[in-house]
Structure 1
Amino acid sequence: MTSLRRTPPASSTGNMSHKNYDSDTLSERGGNDYVRQKRRRQSDEDIIMLSNKIDQYFSELKQQNAELRDSLQFMSDKYDTTLNMISKMEEKRLEDKKQIAKLEERLEFMIASIEIRNIPSSSKENKKKETKEDICELVQGFAKTLSVSLNESDIKDVYRVTTNKETIKPIIIELNRPRKPVYVSEVLTSRTQKIYHMARQFVKDYNYSYCWTSRGTIYIRKTEGEQAIRIESEEDLNKLKLKQ
């Protein structure tokens, strides 16, 4: 007969140990999952924070670029405006230069030339054609009447000019250039003459560049291009002194 061997029952202590091991393993796995989830959440939060910072940085950078672009555009517009102003000023300077040349030429002619009107021709009395010598004698006689010394050597040329309105032709006397400069100024009242003298002294003392009269009114100017200042009384000069 075959003998049967009875398998002893499993020890209750071994089962308990196995159950405890499974429980610890599950707890450890749960703890690891929690840590991983926590780290994952922390990593996500860090990524979001970093992304926000990057967005903020680029937003500020865009704003700075926009401001820089606006500044560059402003400077470009100002540069174009300045070039335009310089171009216009240069054109104005050339026009003024031409005008000054014309005025100097005209002034030179005015200083060296005299026009006399309503002196009848000597040819009517002598019944002969009037010559240059006749006109010269008329001019010298006219100067003598005015107590003005006018020698024949002072006269460069003398002639009559034709006009549409006058029956007696005016006489033009071209004089030789005087050795001394000729100054032409307005006739001012004694009060205006006194203020004009004070204004010229003020211009010298306070480094102003210009002082002149126009139609009996006194003007001064600090530098070229500035607005002219009208001087009507000594009080106007005193006010300007207080501002210096």
Structure 2
Amino acid sequence: MRLLRQLVYDLKKQNTDIGLKLVNVSETLEHKLVEFDKKIAERDNEILLLKNSVSELQHRLNFSEQENMRSELEIFGVPEENNENVSHVVMLTARKIGVQLVDSEIDEAFRAGARRSNAVERPRSIILRLTRRSKRSDILKAAKNRRPLTSEDIVKGTSSKVFINERLTKTNKELFRNARIRAQAHGFRFCWIRNGTIYVRKAEKQPPIPIRSSADLDDNVGPPGAPASDTVTA
């Protein structure tokens, strides 16, 4: 009986020691988990700051790139011809909308990108860089008043619709495309560009809303995927 009592006592002591060790291990693990959670939170904050910094840099870069295009236009829909003189095509286009454009006012005029195999069906747009911003404004205003504009009397062949717009960066082109889709889906009647900035307006006499990012679309127009409504006017 004495040996049995000693054995029970030893077992109880061992259990007590094991329990204390488990408590210590548990407290150590809990402390490490707290420290780990802190490090994860700090890392998440660092990642968020980095993402915000990258987003800000991208925004500034896009803004700077768009500012450099303040004297440029993009003309869509003019059929391509072999050995064409793009500057001459541009001057004929300007003349058709009632604007006198001379060669000295053209800094550069060229077709965008490599020539396509189906250039007849899908002609490349024309990039026009002018020496004066005021001339660009004259052309944009005249083109708006002259709608619909066609390629008749500009180049030979089948007549097609021609559009003259401000030249946009790749980022702003995508944003403008999404803005038009989103504006139509949420019942906004107007979506247009002025001096490189995209604007939407719900209806006549309502204030224009500038759209500079996808977040602006979410906050001021509505989420994507809504059913389309009335046609948007540019």
Give yes or no for TM over 0.5. no
Structure 2 length-normalised TM: 0.40
Which has a greater percent of strand? 2
Which structure has the greater CA radius of gyration? 1
Which has a greater percent of helix? 1
Between 1 and 2, higher relative CO (CA 8 Å, sep ≥ 6) is seen in 2
Structure 1 length-normalised TM: 0.39
